[in-house]
Amino acid sequence: MKRRFLLSSGLSLAFISPTLFAQETQSTAQRPLKRTARQLNEKQTNEVIESSPYSVLSTCDKAGFPYGVPISPVRDGDHFYFHATGKKGGRKEDNMLMNPNVSLCFVSKNNVLGHCYSVDFASAIVRGKAYKVTDPRELVHAFDLILAKYAPSNSKNRNDVQKKVRGPHAVVWRVDIEHIDGKARAAKEWIHGKTAKDLVDTCNSEWLQGVK
């Protein structure tokens, strides 16, 4: 029996077994963005990603328990790199070894518009699969990209010392991109180089006009 039939029949959700919903939909991964008026194009979404100071990596273990943690990723074409400590027992790494499906959440701005009960935001969600980098050449490439983004003013000599001392203890992960969605409240008023970070007051609620 389908969910829509149960609902149209006037049956209470309290009496519907959760297994019926699981049988109808096993995953929400392929659902399109619901608020299409706020959807960003590829160029705008990339701007949000590049303007975000960090990302939240979401993982999940075999038992279904989620775990989110901030990371400092760098993009390289169709994938992202980020580093981890490599210490045994970390939830982030163990989750990715159990289940490679991950998501990255980028937020380049989050301005609360209290006067119109809204938020001026710009965000992007990346879905993909995470793999530990083991190839020595790829490791060097990933470390160089990470250093270029997050330590651009450091000398090569300083970076070489850091890589020599700490490099052997660090681990690099790669997220191969499968899907990206970008979203912003001010999507219709998007201005390149501005909207991804600067405040845009989108308060246009007719019922609030003239109300103090």
Of residues 200 and 8, more confidently modeled: 200
pLDDT at residue 9 in the model = 40
Of residues 31 and 81, more confidently modeled: 81
CB atoms under 10 Å from CB of 59, counted, come to 23
CA distance 129 to 131: 7
Residue 17 has pLDDT above 70, yes or no: no
Sequence length of the chain is 212
Band of residue 22 on the pLDDT scale cut at 50, 70, 90: low
Taking the domains of the chain in order of start, what are their residue ranges? 34-199
CA distance 59 to 27: 15
- 71-91 pLDDT, tens digit per residue, is 999 999 999 999 998 778 899
Choose among 114, 125, 121: nearest CA to 196. Answer: 121
Of residues 61 and 32, more confidently modeled: 61
**Average per-residue pLDDT in the chain?**
88
Quote the pTM value: 0.84
Find how far residue 85's CA is from the centre of its chain.
21
By the 10 Å C-beta count (0-12 exposed, 13-18 middle, 19+ buried), 103 is classed as buried
CA 6 → CA 11, 12, 88, distances in Å? 6, 8, 48
- 102-137 pLDDT, tens digit per residue, is 999 999 999 999 988 999 999 999 999 999 999 999
Encoded tokens for 44? 């705008």
Q: The domain 34-199 belongs to what CATH superfamily?
A: Electron Transport, Fmn-binding Protein; Chain A (2.30.110.10)
